[in-house]
Structure 1
Amino acid sequence: FQLPGIDILCERMELTTAKQCQSAVHQYGREGMLSELYGVTDWDYDFRGHKFQGDWQAALGVSIRVHHLTWASMKGSAKRDYPACIGYQSPWYKEYAYVEDHFARINTVMTRGKPVVKLGVIHPIESFWLAHGDTQSSGELKDEMEHNFEKITEWLLYSQNDFDFISESILPSLYKEGKGFTVGEMSYEIILLPPMKTIRSTTLDALESFASRGGKIIFAGEIPFLENALPSDRAKKLASRCITIPFTHTSIMQEVEPEKVISIRQTNGMPANQYLYQLRRDGNHHWVFIANGKKPPHKEVIPPRHIQITIQGEHTPVLYDTLTGNIAEFPCLYQNGNTVIPYLIHGHDSILFRLNPGKTDKVFAAPATPRPVIGRIEWKQPISYTREEDNVYILDLGQWKLNDG
Structure 2
Amino acid sequence: MWFEDFRNPPVDFRPVPFLSINDDIEEKRLIWFAEEFLDKGWGGFFFHARVGLMTPYMGNRWFNLVRRCVDRYSELGGRFWIYDEQGWPSGQAGGQVTKLNPGIRNKILKCVPSKGGLPPAGTIRTQVVKAGGKTTKRDFVVRTMPVGWLPDLLEPSAVRAFIESTHDLYKIHLKDEFGKVVPGIFTDEPQYTTHFTLSREDALPWTERLPAEFEAEHGYSVLDNLPSLFFDVGSYRKVRYDFFSTVTRLFVEAFSIQLYEWCEENGLKYTGHYEWEDSFLGQIHCIGSAMQHYEYMHQPGIDHLGRGLHNPWVEKQVASVASQLGKDRVLSETYGVSGQSLSFHDRRWIGNWQFAHGVNFLNHHLALYSLRGERKRDYPPTLSPHQPWWNYNTIPADYFTRLSYVMSKGRRIVDVLVLTSLGSAWCEYKPSDHEGVERVFKGFTELTESLLSQQIDFEYGEEFLLEKHGKVQGKRLVLGKSRYRVVILPPMKSIRASTLELIRRFAEAGGCVILVGEMPGLVEGEESEELVSFVSSLRLVPNEDDAISSTVRPMLSKGPSINWISGAEIEHLLVHRRKIGSAELLFVVNTDHGRTMRIRIDFATSKPVRELLPLTGEIRSCPSTHAVDLPGGDGKIFVEGIDAEADGSCDRVPGDLLCSEPLSATWEIHREDPNIAVMDFARYRLPGGRLSGLLPVWQVQDEVKERTGEFEVRYEFDVSRRGPIDLVVEEAHRYDVYVNDSKVNSRTGKWWLDPSFVKMPIGDLVKPGKNTVTIKGRYDSDMSIEDAYLLGDFSVEVDGRRTPQLTDEKPIARNLADIREAGYPFYAGALELRGEVNIPERNGTPWIEFDGLGGTIAEISLNGTDLGTLFWREYRLPAQDVLKPGKNEISIRLVNDLRNLLGPRHWTEGEFTGVNPTSFRDGHGWTDSYVGVPLGIDGLRIVWRSGG
Same fold (TM over 0.5): yes
Unaligned 5+ runs, structure 2: 1-296, 684-712, 715-737, 742-771, 775-948
Q: In structure 1, what is the equivalent of residue 598 of structure 2?
A: 306
Q: Residues of 2 paired with 1:101 and 1:357: CA distance? A: 23
Q: In structure 2, what is the equivalent of residue 332 of structure 1?
A: 624
Q: How many Å apart are 1:95 and its aligned residue? A: 0.5
Q: How many Å apart are 1:70 and its aligned residue? A: 0.5
The one-letter amino acid of 2:599's match is: I
Q: Residues of 1 paired with 2:384 and 2:501: CA distance? A: 54
Q: Render the CA deviation track for 1:242-290: whole Å, top value 9, x for unaligned.
A: 3222222221111111116455432279971111122110111111211
Does residue 5 (structure 1) correspond to residue 301 (structure 2)? The answer is yes
Q: Residues of 2 paired with 1:57 and 1:268: CA distance? A: 24
The 5-angstrom pairing of residues 222-233 of structure 1 reads: 222-233=518-529
DSSP-derived class of the 2:368 partner: coil
TM-score by length of 1: 0.85
Q: In structure 2, what is the equivalent of residue 194 of structure 1?
A: 490
CA contact (8 A) 1:332 1:342 kept: no
DSSP-derived class of the 1:308 partner: strand
The one-letter amino acid of 2:365's match is: H
DSSP-derived class of the 2:473 partner: coil
Q: In structure 1, what is the equivalent of residue 915 of structure 2?
A: none
Q: Residues of 1 paired with 2:634 and 2:678: CA distance? A: 36
The one-letter amino acid of 1:284's match is: S
Q: How many Å apart are 1:328 and its aligned residue? A: 1.1
Structure 1 residues 380 and 14: alpha-carbon distance in aligned structure 2, compared to 1, 3 A threshold: farther
Q: Residues of 2 paired with 1:77 and 1:235: CA distance? A: 57
CA contact (8 A) 2:629 2:653 kept: no
CA contact (8 A) 2:612 2:619 kept: yes
Q: Residues of 2 paired with 1:172 and 1:266: CA distance? A: 40
CA contact (8 A) 1:44 1:83 kept: no
The 5-angstrom pairing of residues 142-221 of structure 1 reads: 142-179=437-474, 180-221=476-517
DSSP-derived class of the 1:11 partner: coil
Q: Render the CA deviation track for 1:285-343: whole Å, top value 9, x for unaligned.
A: 1112111234x3xx4xx3x332123557665321112222222111233xxxxxxx421
Q: Residues of 1 paired with 2:662 and 2:668: CA distance? A: 10
The one-letter amino acid of 2:639's match is: R
Aligned-residue sequence identity (percent) comes to 27
Q: In structure 1, what is the equivalent of residue 315 of structure 2?
A: 18
The one-letter amino acid of 1:331's match is: P
Q: Render the CA deviation track for 1:353-399: whole Å, top value 9, x for unaligned.
A: 111279xxx999x98954899x9882654145451x44444443555
Q: How many Å apart are 1:133 and its aligned residue? A: 2.7
Q: 2:630 aligns with which of 335, 345, 359?
A: 345
Q: Residues of 1 paired with 2:575 and 2:654: CA distance? A: 30
Structure 1 residues 171 and 380: alpha-carbon distance in aligned structure 2, compared to 1, 3 A threshold: farther
Q: Residues of 1 paired with 2:344 and 2:498: CA distance? A: 47
The one-letter amino acid of 2:400's match is: F
The 5-angstrom pairing of residues 92-111 of structure 1 reads: 92-111=389-408
The one-letter amino acid of 2:347's match is: H
Return 274-283 or 240-249, whichever deviates more: 240-249
The one-letter amino acid of 2:366's match is: L
Q: In structure 1, what is the equivalent of residue 414 of structure 2?
A: 117
Q: In structure 2, what is the equivalent of residue 78 of structure 1?
A: 375
TM-score by length of 2: 0.38
Q: Residues of 2 paired with 1:23 and 1:369: CA distance? A: 41
Q: 1:292 aligns with which of 590, 596, 601?
A: 590
Unaligned 5+ runs, structure 1: 334-340
Q: In structure 1, what is the equivalent of residue 552 of structure 2?
A: 256
Q: Residues of 1 paired with 2:568 and 2:515: CA distance? A: 27
CA contact (8 A) 2:566 2:597 kept: no
Structure 1 residues 349 and 47: alpha-carbon distance in aligned structure 2, compared to 1, 3 A threshold: same
The one-letter amino acid of 2:550's match is: Q
Q: Residues of 1 paired with 2:505 and 2:567: CA distance? A: 39
DSSP-derived class of the 1:41 partner: coil
Q: How many Å apart are 1:79 and its aligned residue? A: 1.4
Aligned residues: 385
DSSP-derived class of the 2:620 partner: strand
Structure 1 residues 146 and 64: alpha-carbon distance in aligned structure 2, compared to 1, 3 A threshold: same
DSSP-derived class of the 2:514 partner: strand
DSSP-derived class of the 1:39 partner: coil
Q: Residues of 2 paired with 1:381 and 1:161: CA distance? A: 51
Q: How many Å apart are 1:206 and its aligned residue? A: 0.7
Q: Residues of 2 paired with 1:310 and 1:196: CA distance? A: 38
Q: 1:129 aligns with which of 426, 430, 437?
A: 426
Q: Residues of 2 paired with 1:363 and 1:42: CA distance? A: 38
Structure 1 residues 114 and 11: alpha-carbon distance in aligned structure 2, compared to 1, 3 A threshold: same
The one-letter amino acid of 1:133's match is: K
CA contact (8 A) 2:569 2:597 kept: no
Q: How many Å apart are 1:159 and its aligned residue? A: 1.1
Q: Residues of 1 paired with 2:546 and 2:537: CA distance? A: 22
CA contact (8 A) 1:316 1:356 kept: yes
Q: In structure 1, what is the equivalent of residue 563 of structure 2?
A: 265
Determine which structure has greater relative contact order: mean sequence separation of CA pairs < 8 Å that are 6+ residues apart, divided by chain length. Answer: 1
CA contact (8 A) 1:195 1:221 kept: yes
DSSP-derived class of the 2:571 partner: coil
CA contact (8 A) 1:160 1:262 kept: no
CA contact (8 A) 2:416 2:487 kept: yes
CA contact (8 A) 2:494 2:520 kept: yes
Structure 1 residues 200 and 82: alpha-carbon distance in aligned structure 2, compared to 1, 3 A threshold: closer
Q: How many Å apart are 1:10 and its aligned residue? A: 1.2
DSSP-derived class of the 1:187 partner: strand
DSSP-derived class of the 1:85 partner: coil
The one-letter amino acid of 1:44's match is: S
Q: In structure 2, what is the equivalent of residue 51 of structure 1?
A: 348
Bigger strand fraction? 2
Does residue 396 (structure 1) correspond to residue 692 (structure 2)? The answer is no
DSSP-derived class of the 2:335 partner: strand
Q: Render the CA deviation track for 1:179-232: whole Å, top value 9, x for unaligned.
A: 410111111111010111111110011111111211111111211111121111
Q: Residues of 1 paired with 2:590 and 2:539: CA distance? A: 32
Structure 1 residues 96 and 209: alpha-carbon distance in aligned structure 2, compared to 1, 3 A threshold: same
Return 10-19 or 307-316, whichever deviates more: 307-316
Q: Residues of 2 paired with 1:270 and 1:252: CA distance? A: 22
Q: In structure 1, what is the equivalent of residue 692 of structure 2?
A: none
Q: How many Å apart are 1:237 and its aligned residue? A: 2.3
Q: Residues of 2 paired with 1:97 and 1:26: CA distance? A: 29
Q: How many Å apart are 1:101 and its aligned residue? A: 1.0
DSSP-derived class of the 1:40 partner: coil
Q: In structure 1, what is the equivalent of residue 828 of structure 2?
A: none
The one-letter amino acid of 2:667's match is: P
DSSP-derived class of the 2:492 partner: coil
Q: Residues of 2 paired with 1:225 and 1:207: CA distance? A: 15
Q: Residues of 1 paired with 2:322 and 2:312: CA distance? A: 15
Structure 1 residues 268 and 278: alpha-carbon distance in aligned structure 2, compared to 1, 3 A threshold: closer
Structure 1 residues 377 and 384: alpha-carbon distance in aligned structure 2, compared to 1, 3 A threshold: farther
Q: In structure 1, what is the equivalent of residue 911 of structure 2?
A: none
Q: Render the CA deviation track for 1:117-141: whole Å, top value 9, x for unaligned.
A: 11001111111122223566x62x4
Return 186-195 or 257-266, whichever deviates more: 257-266
The one-letter amino acid of 1:162's match is: D
Q: Residues of 1 paired with 2:637 and 2:664: CA distance? A: 33
